[in-house]
Amino acid sequence: MNQIKSSPPPPFPPDTVWDVAGGKAAGIYTWFKEISEELDNGWVLSDNNRMLMLGGYSYLGLNKRPEINQAAIGAIQTFGTGMSGSRFLAGTTELHSQLEKKIAELHNKEGAIVYTSGYLANVSTIACLLRKNDFIICDKTNHASMIDGGRYSNAKLMRYPHNDLTRLQKILASIPDSSRKLVVIDAIFSMSGEAADIPQIIALCKKYNAYLMVDECHSIFVLGKTGGGIAEYFNIKPDDIDITMATLSKSIPAAGGYIASSEKMINYLRHESRGFIYSIALSAAMAATALRGLEIFESERQTLLERLNDNTEIFKKTLRSSGIQLGDSVTSIIPILVGDPMKAAVAAKICHEHDLYIHAVFPPVVPVGKAILRASITASHKKEDLIMAGKTIGAILTEVEKMELPNISGYN
């Protein structure tokens, strides 16, 4: 038989976008750092070393609260560890129904639906709501789960430059009136902590007859006077946002994601959303954890928010007095502007050597030339630890400016 000459196929799996092996060889690979125990006041144990966690999402500092742990243990004793089915079939416990009722009340919506993660809630909701000839319109820095939901749907995905509402308006104006349009947006951008201009976006959606879905993963429980999220922060009527999405894995120390919306919408998702129907139910332990977390939020929100805001201010003030530039965050997400990805990577590595658990964030997650160290502060941090951390990071960034840096693909 004649041999057919051809070039070999591309590597499988394909090459990673950035050079993982090169990063490891240069000693600047800081990801997947193992934690062996969560300690008090934002400290963790890693490699037998106490490290101050500055990269976690437990904004209210509720993780490991004994009452919450107890709720999870109680649910395991009642229901076991497994769910043995999707919510549609054998996986709905009374805890799930109570949790959904509580979430709906929290957002002043008619109903809610809980998924096993926030990622799945976004992907699965968006994918089943939009069809061919529909449009999904996203800010370019939206969380990947919203973009991925748009990709899984058969709708046309249109993305506008970050915060460019003039472009958003142009896009909306260019879509035929007869098409279904969904604008999807992070209330608080996860890397920068800035708030999206939701009142202006609502006005545009109304003008062009578009539906609006808002991701409140980084705003509900922490933003607004009582932690009521973006609606409280901007004094927005609940009905001005068609679909609210959030996670149960950040301020609430559980897992799971949810959608709160009209009864009609929730009923549709319960019967059409593939990530809900064709996947295991959220575990009863996590439903109980989330329920107890919500109760603690309700009863302690004022104290927790006060502590969180004071801690955030102290950390920002310490960094600024070391000459460090920060982004325009309105929450406890603190983007420490570095610019060059390699400098950010080296700074993160030196932070780890000083027992500060923090990560660098590079493009495409942040815009080109705007690499950051991303810190997030919690209500359980101690002020003296945050002052120490702020001063140490200031000194490290000054040092990195003078260093000769390696050149590795993907870190530029």
* CB-based closest residue to ligand PLP: 118
Torsion angle (degrees, nearest 10) of CA 15, 16, 20, 23: 100
Q: Which is nearer to ligand PLP, 134 or 215 (CB)?
A: 215
Give dist(CA 300, CA 56) in Å, integer.
21
Q: Which is nearer to ligand PLP, 259 or 342 (CB)?
A: 259
Cβ count near 407 (within 10 Å): 9
Per DSSP, the residues of 351-376 read: HHHTTEE-EEE-TTTS-TT-EEEEEE
Q: What's the min distance (Å) between Cβ of 119 and ligand PLP?
A: 4
Q: Which is nearer to ligand PLP, 61 or 394 (CB)?
A: 61
Q: Which is nearer to ligand PLP, 190 or 318 (CB)?
A: 190
What is the contact surface with ligand PLP in residues (CB under 6 A)? 117-119, 122, 143, 145, 186, 190, 215, 217-218, 247, 249, 257
Q: What's the min distance (Å) between Cβ of 255 and ligand PLP?
A: 7
Q: Which is nearer to ligand PLP, 145 or 289 (CB)?
A: 145
User: Half-sphere exposure of residue 268, counting CA atoms within 13 Å on the CB side?
Assistant: 15
87-99 core/surface letters (b: 16 or more CB in 10 A; e: else): beeebbbebbeeb
Give dist(CA 31, CA 138) in Å, integer.
28
Give dist(CA 61, CA 381) in Å, integer.
8
Q: Strands 181-186, 135-139: parallel, antiparallel or unpaired by DSSP?
A: parallel
Please name the amino acid found at residue 79.
Answer: F
Q: What's the min distance (Å) between Cβ of 114 and ligand PLP?
A: 11
Q: Which is nearer to ligand PLP, 63 or 190 (CB)?
A: 190
For the record, the structure tokens of 153 come out as: 């749907």
Q: Which is nearer to ligand PLP, 229 or 390 (CB)?
A: 229
Q: What's the min distance (Å) between Cβ of 66 and ligand PLP?
A: 24
Q: What's the min distance (Å) between Cβ of 250 and ligand PLP?
A: 7
Residue 129 and residue 271 in contact, taking contact as beta carbons nearer than 8 Å: no
Q: What are the backbone angles phi and psi of residue 138, rounded to the nearest 5°?
A: -130, 145
Cα torsion 153, 283, 304, 355: sign = negative
Q: What's the min distance (Å) between Cβ of 272 and ligand PLP?
A: 20
Q: What's the min distance (Å) between Cβ of 122 and ligand PLP?
A: 6
Q: What's the min distance (Å) between Cβ of 407 and ligand PLP?
A: 30
Q: Find all residues with CB under 8 Å of 164, minimum gap 6, and list them.
A: none
Q: Which is nearer to ligand PLP, 18 or 57 (CB)?
A: 57
